[in-house]
Structure 1
Amino acid sequence: MTSATPQDRRINRRTIIRGAAWSAPVIAVAAAAPSAAASPREFRIAPLSDFAATRCVATSAGTARFRVTLRGAAAPVGTPVALQLPAGLTFTAGGTTANVTTVADGVVNVPAFTVTGPAGSYAITGTVNAQVSPAQVFGDVNPSPGTVTELRRSVGPATTAPTFSTVAMTGITTATLGAISGDQAATGTVSTGSNAAVIVSPGGSVQIWGNNSGTQAPAHSILAVGGTNVSGVRFVDSWTSVQTANAGAGGVAAGATGAAVYQWYRNGTGAGPLTTTPVTGISGNVIDAQSNDGYSYVLTSTGLYWWANTGATAAATLIAGTAGATQFSSYAVRETAYTFGGAVLMANGSVQTWSTAAHTLTPRAGFPASIRSIEAGPSAVFALTNDGGLYSSGGAFSSSTGGANWTQRATGVSAFSTWSVSNYSGGSYINATGAVTQFFAASASGIAYTTAARALASGVQAVKVFASDGTYLALGSDRRVYAWGGNLDSGGATLPAAVTGISNAIDLNVWGYHQPSGSFYGGGYIITSTTC
């Protein structure tokens, strides 16, 4: 299946997205001395508020906070706490460590800091005493503007190790985020079936390109409605049909409110103009927007909306009962049959899913508590909890311990990315030390959940991971992109290697497609920018 991941899912739950992908590693520092009147073990420290940041822009003091308790009550004012920033973050006053003290109610305000590393997820560690477990405050960092390069994977069977090449986009120098998808089109042995869109600052216009969108890389065109360029966009996603002889493609672009949502679409013959139209019937402030072959979705403060996205007009329908939902994940695959659906994290913390044209929600019983991000596919739903637990649910895990029920698959996870198709699922995640683990399960083949370490270069920590069927990417703390191919049932699986010619990477995305019993296709895009 294809994979396209919107990047601007604002901090709310995790608070961190997707998902996106989360945090960089953090190392606890030696503790400051506790109060002489208390046993060191009676102190506790916990995260109080996570943070959102933009690369190269200072984050104000007190945006990230901890809370310290003593014997269950707020610690006295002046209790010392040691703070450690991960690689890529620097205190405005200098350095990556700081000794601070609690204020009223045991609150610890993290001093102002700036992100100089790539976009991704990071964690700040607070330690109140060496004999007490440290705590982490998580945050999601949005990229600063940069140039765009398309990444292309070689085409081949599972037993053939892939190679990766790049195409520099012309004239895009201030891209901030975007999405990419693709199909089985190829030029020679190189995947060229991608369709992408990136938001350009200032102004929030959208540049699109792709094999089915009318403008092939390195050229691109601006998204417009009736001759007027779309602007103010904060969320974008794209889709590509993988059905044989179907060259359909499209996407969604959304501004801050439901009154500023647009769809673009080109019909399945791949001929004729690209049609862009406003989407009606949406209200509230936009939280996320996603688009797949057949249906598009926008989550707002009012609830989750859907609409059929292959027409000249688009009118959205609100899914009843979704007001207050904090995030969602959707999918669609159109091959010999059409499969679609998704999952939504409700206001009460429960998970509900849909897979019918009426978009009727069904509770996903047994969900874990305190979910901060979810991802859904045809045969699996994943959830990452606030304490770093990664859980799976779905038919792809029927041959694994715990089966299709909600089951914890990993602990200490700070970021993850997944994919799934019929009875197959895989992905990758980052732990608290910045190490990457790839995983796989396939009930159709009787393969139980299995994992394998995927090391980047020596001393390099991962800050983001992106997974698709057979194509995997990681963004390193050294601002390089590491790519590898193959799933864990494949003899052609490779180890991560830095993409040649790419440095100063600050964000990226991936897509991948595996033809049933056929070849693997894939690619992505990379945003690069100079040092702050």
Structure 2
Amino acid sequence: MKDKDPKYVDHDMTRAGYAHARGSGEPLSPDGVLSRRTIVAGAAWAIPAVTMAVATPAFASSGSVVQFNSARYSGVGCSSITGVSVTVSKNGAASAGAPVTLTLSAGYSFAGSGTTYSGVTSSSGIVSAPAINIPMQGGSGTISAVSNGASVSSSLSASPAGGTVFNVESGSVYGSNQPSTLSLVAITKDASGYEYLVGLTSDNFLWRMTSQSGQWVKITNETTGIAAADGLAVYIRNGLVLDASTGTAFGTAQPGTIYRAVVTTDAAGYKYLLGLTSDNFLWRMTSQSGQWVKITNETTGIAAADGLAVYIRNGLVLDASTGLAYGSSQPGTFARAVVTTDAAGYKYLLGLTSDNFLWRMTSQSGQWVKITNETTGIAAADGLAVYIRNGLVLDASTGSVFGSSQPGTFNQVVVTTSSGGYMRLVARTSDSDVWTMTTQSGAWTRVSGNAPTIAAGSGLAIYTQSSTTC
């Protein structure tokens, strides 16, 4: 590999603030973690929104203060979030009779009232929101409130509805003894070369299977996150990262509050993990040291693949090994990033800003370049990086449409290499249909409907099919 050091640029690490952006609902990459909490208003942990909105009170010139009762709310696809409320005050006193307008994004909707709801505060200055319906695919979004010129937002996140795992290539159920409620799946290959999957059900049970046994096995309950890459599969339970093969804690000195992790392998061949805590601290460990180390605070995103692990802090993409900005000319508003390695062996990254601009960089140039606007999804693996714009999957290197016969309604995409050595892409539409294409055929074909989840990695692509509709 000819991976070169990018032109690192030291940035002021004390710049305050970051923007919240909705991802496309897909994992950061096939190596990224998928995590979630059950439906609880104000839950501490949520599925991987790579940024986290903080419900700081909003002030207006009128003196009004508007605040949600939580910084973030979470749930599961095809269910609802309840218990959301907004408080309006002025000069420290509750504002009775104040008008409040609530607005939802990213496919979330209020029961019986669409994406907006208007109400008036009670004598205690509170407006309670109707139940919030979660789309089948889950994903990340926002709820915003406006009152008397003041506005504030909190984040929404949800895992997909549960279903049965199917192999995209064969179209058949993938593995026997499935619980039929798997909503999140991470994929790698074990040391013997067998496909190794971990799955998380809608009620937080962890299941595991390998293509050697062909059978899913229940492992434990109360699991809030999974990740897999390079032969290692881990899960998160009670804030700890554990090895899915052994059930033991993966690394010592864990803070006990990790809710998200990503996995890769470093240049020396050791497993290299990043973990993100519920209070946005970044931790790092390698299997060489066996110990977790705190790196920094205010981290809003993590990604790892092909030996490179990066994180987002104050809108900048930084190298988790050095703490330095990874590449020059960054816009300072990144909300998401994905990593792969190009055909020449250079690291190849896509970054998505809080205002949906797509940026690209390679370690060969060391410089970030703006590509386009209105980007709603990114994915990268095995040397291919793609993005979604106006419902179409496009090649990030050329800007051209990637494959013919696209339906034009894609909102999520994943990438891997097929068994024949061709690139395989799987994408979901806004109405939960699954489509696939390979570079051998060059054309997209519809595979299934009612599919809340897609995932890919290590040459395998899967989707889940749900018996639930919403």
Q: Please report the TM-score for the alignment, with normalisation by the length of structure 2.
A: 0.64
**Per the alignment, in what secondary structure is the counterpart of residue 364 of structure 1?**
strand
Q: 1:169 aligns with which of 170, 173, 188?
A: 173
Change (3 A) 1:531 1:390: farther
5+ residue gaps, structure 1, are: 24-37, 153-165, 185-191, 216-220, 224-229, 231-252, 257-285, 487-491, 513-520
RMSD: 4.7
- 2:73 aligned partner, one-letter code: F
- Structural mapping, 1:290-309, within 5 Å: 290-293=227-230, 297-301=234-238, 304-305=240-241
**Larger of the two Rg values belongs to structure:** 1
- Structural mapping, 1:279-294, within 5 Å: 286-293=223-230
The answer on 1:142 being equivalent to 2:196 is no
- The worse-fitting range, judged by mean Cα deviation, of 502-511 and 460-469 is 460-469
Change (3 A) 1:201 1:326: closer
In the TM superposition, what is the alpha-carbon distance from 1:99 to its structure 2 partner?
0.8
The answer on 1:442 being equivalent to 2:362 is yes
The answer on 1:323 being equivalent to 2:323 is no
In the TM superposition, what is the alpha-carbon distance from 1:52 to its structure 2 partner?
1.7
Change (3 A) 1:151 1:84: same
Give yes or no for contact 1:59–1:114 (8 Å, CA) kept in 2.
yes
- 1:254 aligned partner, one-letter code: T
In structure 2, how many angstroms separate the alpha carbons of the residues matched to 1:294 and 1:87? 34
In structure 1, how many angstroms separate the alpha carbons of the residues matched to 2:313 and 2:424? 22
5+ residue gaps, structure 2, are: 1-28, 54-58, 376-387, 393-406, 418-422
Residue 37 (structure 2) aligns with: 10
In structure 1, how many angstroms separate the alpha carbons of the residues matched to 2:221 and 2:141? 26
Give yes or no for contact 1:180–1:524 (8 Å, CA) kept in 2.
no
In structure 2, how many angstroms separate the alpha carbons of the residues matched to 1:505 and 1:463? 13
In structure 1, how many angstroms separate the alpha carbons of the residues matched to 2:69 and 2:410? 25
Residue 143 (structure 2) aligns with: 124
Residue 309 (structure 2) aligns with: 380
Change (3 A) 1:124 1:315: closer
In structure 1, how many angstroms separate the alpha carbons of the residues matched to 2:438 and 2:295? 32
Give yes or no for contact 1:331–1:340 (8 Å, CA) kept in 2.
yes
Residue 278 (structure 1) aligns with: none
The answer on 1:510 being equivalent to 2:448 is no
CA displacement 1:321-346 (0-9 Å, x = unmatched): x3342324231338x95142122335
Q: 1:410 aligns with which of 330, 333, 344?
A: 333
In the TM superposition, what is the alpha-carbon distance from 1:80 to its structure 2 partner?
0.8
Give yes or no for contact 2:101–2:118 (8 Å, CA) kept in 1.
yes
In the TM superposition, what is the alpha-carbon distance from 1:319 to its structure 2 partner?
2.0
CA displacement 1:168-204 (0-9 Å, x = unmatched): 32776823224243569xxxxxxx9754344567895
In the TM superposition, what is the alpha-carbon distance from 1:81 to its structure 2 partner?
0.7
In the TM superposition, what is the alpha-carbon distance from 1:347 to its structure 2 partner?
6.5
In structure 2, how many angstroms separate the alpha carbons of the residues matched to 1:255 and 1:501? 32
- 1:449 aligned partner, one-letter code: W
Give yes or no for contact 2:188–2:228 (8 Å, CA) kept in 1.
no
Give yes or no for contact 2:106–2:140 (8 Å, CA) kept in 1.
no
Give yes or no for contact 1:460–1:478 (8 Å, CA) kept in 2.
no
Residue 227 (structure 1) aligns with: none
Residue 461 (structure 2) aligns with: 523
In structure 2, how many angstroms separate the alpha carbons of the residues matched to 1:97 and 1:308? 42
In the TM superposition, what is the alpha-carbon distance from 1:121 to its structure 2 partner?
1.9
Give yes or no for contact 1:175–1:200 (8 Å, CA) kept in 2.
yes
Give yes or no for contact 2:188–2:196 (8 Å, CA) kept in 1.
yes
Change (3 A) 1:530 1:344: closer
- The worse-fitting range, judged by mean Cα deviation, of 521-530 and 195-204 is 195-204
- Structural mapping, 1:32-51, within 5 Å: 42-49=63-70, 50-51=72-73
Give yes or no for contact 1:290–1:296 (8 Å, CA) kept in 2.
yes
In the TM superposition, what is the alpha-carbon distance from 1:255 to its structure 2 partner?
1.6
Change (3 A) 1:451 1:151: farther
Residue 270 (structure 1) aligns with: none
In the TM superposition, what is the alpha-carbon distance from 1:151 to its structure 2 partner?
3.0
CA displacement 1:196-229 (0-9 Å, x = unmatched): 344567895847353xx343xxxxx232xxxxxx
In structure 2, how many angstroms separate the alpha carbons of the residues matched to 1:376 and 1:105? 47
Change (3 A) 1:135 1:455: same
The count of aligned residue pairs is: 390
In the TM superposition, what is the alpha-carbon distance from 1:409 to its structure 2 partner?
4.3
In the TM superposition, what is the alpha-carbon distance from 1:104 to its structure 2 partner?
6.5
In the TM superposition, what is the alpha-carbon distance from 1:118 to its structure 2 partner?
2.4
Change (3 A) 1:203 1:106: closer
- 2:461 aligned partner, one-letter code: G
CA displacement 1:497-528 (0-9 Å, x = unmatched): 9652333321222326xxxxxxxx56343444
Change (3 A) 1:362 1:92: closer
Give yes or no for contact 2:101–2:117 (8 Å, CA) kept in 1.
yes
Residue 59 (structure 1) aligns with: 81
Change (3 A) 1:476 1:287: same
CA displacement 1:335-369 (0-9 Å, x = unmatched): x951421223357643232235232344435x5x3
Give yes or no for contact 1:65–1:137 (8 Å, CA) kept in 2.
no
- Structural mapping, 1:50-129, within 5 Å: 50-60=72-82, 62=83, 64-70=84-90, 73=92, 76-86=95-105, 88-103=107-122, 106-129=125-148
**Per the alignment, in what secondary structure is the counterpart of residue 448 of structure 1?**
coil
- Structural mapping, 1:170-209, within 5 Å: 174-182=180-188, 194-199=195-200, 204=205, 206=207, 208-209=209-210
**Per the alignment, in what secondary structure is the counterpart of residue 448 of structure 2?**
coil
**Per the alignment, in what secondary structure is the counterpart of residue 447 of structure 2?**
coil
Give yes or no for contact 1:288–1:299 (8 Å, CA) kept in 2.
yes
- Structural mapping, 1:253-292, within 5 Å: 253-256=219-222, 286-292=223-229
**Per the alignment, in what secondary structure is the counterpart of residue 432 of structure 2?**
coil
In structure 2, how many angstroms separate the alpha carbons of the residues matched to 1:81 and 1:509? 39
**Per the alignment, in what secondary structure is the counterpart of residue 82 of structure 1?**
strand
Residue 22 (structure 2) aligns with: none
In structure 1, how many angstroms separate the alpha carbons of the residues matched to 2:90 and 2:353? 32
**Per the alignment, in what secondary structure is the counterpart of residue 185 of structure 2?**
strand
Q: Please report the TM-score for the alignment, with normalisation by the length of structure 1.
A: 0.58
In structure 1, how many angstroms separate the alpha carbons of the residues matched to 2:62 and 2:365? 47
Residue 339 (structure 2) aligns with: 419
